[in-house]
Amino acid sequence: MKRHFSMLREFHLADWFTLGNAFCGTGAIFAAMRFLQDGITGWLLAGMALIPLAFVFDALDGRIARMRHSASTLGRELDSLSDVISFGVAPAALAYACGMQGGWDWVVLSYFVCCGVSRLARYNVTAEAMSADAGKVTYFEGTPIPTSLLLVIVLAVAAWQGRIGDALWFGVVDLGWQLHPLVLLFALSGSLMISKTLRIPKP
């Protein structure tokens, strides 16, 4: 007979680190929402600080799984879902909170998230084929989604300098809908994630 919470009881140590990643990403989204509610920049900076912490959890879960020989299909799926939250949705939410709220900004940020989801789905379905005889994936097709941490660092610098909202770097362009040129960094990041020609060696 299965006991209550039996699935959680069967999680490996690495899986809990993966959930720590998702927890941080969710907290970052809530912090962005809180900033939009009361305008206290500290909430925004706190949310941004959670993304590097999510990156640490993301780096550790794989190492722990390999050390304990506990890698599993469930763990890989948990990792991808957590990454979507922490390195896809959360950076987009933080960018929106920083002032990228024009119509074209919405389109670009949604494109960025969709690229991240697509990148992770492709990785999951091709991981076995890419492993070949090496026993592990030897390279990434496109940039890994955690590279969006760089975007969050850019946003954190802007927030620290007070260059958010109407003071956002590079201003705003009216193209029928508003577009903040800074959001194009998200378009570039998303496009690099779904590239099939860009190959990055996996450590």
pLDDT of residue 119: 92
pLDDT of residue 9: 54
The string of pLDDT tens digits covering residues 70-114 is 556 676 788 889 999 999 999 999 999 999 999 999 999 999 999
Locate tokens 């099939």: which residue? 196
Domain borders along the chain are 11-201
Closest CA to 178 of 82, 99, 60, 97: 99
Residues 6 or more apart whose Cβ sits within 8 Å of residue 96? 32, 105, 109
Predicted TM-score (pTM) of the model is 0.88
Which helix H or strand E contains 105, and what residues bound it?
A: helix 103-131
Confidence of residue 126 (pLDDT cuts 50, 70, 90): confident
Q: Report whether CATH 1.20.120.1760 matches the domain 11-201.
A: yes
Q: Is the pLDDT of residue 52 over 80?
A: yes
The string of pLDDT tens digits covering residues 140-192 is 788 999 999 999 999 999 999 999 999 999 999 999 999 999 999 999 999 99
Backbone angles phi, psi at 199, to 5 degrees: -120, 125
